[in-house]
Structure 1
Amino acid sequence: MSQRIFITGIGTGVGKTVTAACVVEALQADYWKPIQSGLSEGTDTDTVKSLISNPVTVCHPEAYRLEAPASPHLAARMENIQIDVDKVVAQVGGMQPSGRPLVIEGAGGLMVPLTEQIFTIDFIAQLKASIIIVSQNYLGSINHALLTAQVLKQRGIPVLGWIFSGDYHTNETEVVAWSGYPQLGRIPHTALIDRAFVKEQAEKLSLGQF
């Protein structure tokens, strides 16, 4: 089976979508955001499409597009929609006929609920994907990062490593050491995020083993 790489974050707004674009560009992988909530400012799929330079990446359509900028289970409830996670998982089987890796971007962190019973981490396990964790420095980020790493270890889900975003902080070195997961790179803060920036950052990521 071709590799499935799931991009998760230690929280919301830590740079998952830009990171996903950089990983997609680095691997010339395909991209999929299975569940998109919050449509008023465009979708993450649209953002990734606009940032990719290579000619082979396919951005697959979302399984669910939900209007409210809320957790998927709540946004779905507001629209009287029942998210069928088994149906979403089944869709992934036909997305890698080319043998390219598939980069899957989640919503928020591991414990974001997709339904009343199923959380993002359960979805990842069903997908049989490996994880890249996106982290960013803010007050409380060490706790959030290490909790994320710990729950992945407890569930036995394979982790490829960390990608840090935003301004550099020495906490990054400590998070890597304490978690035991390697650093794959970092994506600095910039005032302009465009294709040139994504291509430049993609070339700096340590993803050669994938």
Structure 2
Amino acid sequence: MTQGLIVTGTDTDVGKTVFAAALAGALGATYWKPIQCGLDGGGDSSRIGELSGLSPSRIHPEAFRLARPESPHRAAEAEGREISLAQLDLPPVEGPLVVEGAGGLMVPVNRHLLMIDLFAAWRLPVVLVARTALGTINHSLLSIEALNGRNIPILGIAFVGDEMPDTEHTIAAMGNVRRLGRLPRLAPLTRDSLAAAFAANFRLEDFS
């Protein structure tokens, strides 16, 4: 297992938090969401705790907890704050670390820095989470191109949603990335159903 992984998405609300919960739980990793925008329901760290089975000690506190559900730069400005790279060093942890980004790659962290710039500084392999719905080929290939343009290593792509074999194959082949698996829609979505779906559709050895 590599020491750390970044989980990011092709867009907001593609399912990356659910996937991050499944991955972190399967690995017994420490989870870290460095920037949380929007605190209704406790934020993504709270949801990770519910879905992953990780102990509270395995959920690292956010560097920034911002009340408004907006882009980080706007949410921070609303509170008279500015997020900088110097404030976002990777936390020292024992064992693997799963880091979840905020939104997609080109989300502004401040007026000069994008989320993808943080990933370039951290130099950890990225798992790109993509929905399987219409439009995902464009979003996914653009995201892969952006990561390649900054020489950020891509571990592979994980899909979330209904099975779309041709779409999934096309993205993996044209983007020259590994298809890691697909997490189906789960109803109900529980810790047990998520763990079972991850085990049935992904191989832990691929996350190394």
Cross-structure match for 1:206: 203
8 Å contact 2:49–2:55 — kept in the other structure?
no
Cross-structure match for 2:184: 188
8 Å contact 1:28–1:57 — kept in the other structure?
no
Partner Cα distance (1:135, 1:54) in 2: 24
Q: Establish whether residue 112 from structure 1 lines up as the match of residue 115 from structure 2.
A: no
Cross-structure match for 2:41: 41
Partner Cα distance (1:46, 1:56) in 2: 9
Partner Cα distance (1:57, 1:26) in 2: 16
User: 5+ residue gaps in structure 2?
Assistant: none
Partner Cα distance (1:168, 1:101) in 2: 30
Give 1:48's aligned amino acid: I
The alpha carbon displacement at 1:30 in A equals 0.8
Cross-structure match for 1:150: 145
The alpha carbon displacement at 1:62 in A equals 0.5
Distance change in 2, residues 1:126/1:143 (3 Å): same
TM-score for both structures, normalised by structure 2: 0.93
Cross-structure match for 1:167: 162
Question: Which residues of 2 match residues 9-48 of structure 1 at below 5 A?
Answer: 9-48=9-48
SS at match of 1:25: helix
TM-score for both structures, normalised by structure 1: 0.92
Structure 1 residue ranges (4+ consecutive) displaced by more than 3 angstroms after TM superposition: 54-57
8 Å contact 1:165–1:186 — kept in the other structure?
yes
Partner Cα distance (2:56, 2:203) in 1: 21
Distance change in 2, residues 1:57/1:163 (3 Å): farther
SS at match of 1:36: strand
> Pairwise CA RMSD of aligned residues?
1.6
Partner Cα distance (1:78, 1:26) in 2: 37
Give 2:46's aligned amino acid: D
The alpha carbon displacement at 1:151 in A equals 1.0
Partner Cα distance (1:53, 1:66) in 2: 25
SS at match of 1:190: coil
Partner Cα distance (1:42, 1:88) in 2: 21
Q: Establish whether residue 126 from structure 1 lines up as the match of residue 121 from structure 2.
A: yes
8 Å contact 1:25–1:202 — kept in the other structure?
no
Aligned match for 1:138, one of 123, 133, 138: 133
Partner Cα distance (1:18, 1:208) in 2: 20
Q: Establish whether residue 88 from structure 1 lines up as the match of residue 88 from structure 2.
A: yes
CA deviation digits over 1:137-174, x for unaligned, max 9? 23321111000011111111111101100111131111
Identity across matched positions, percent: 39
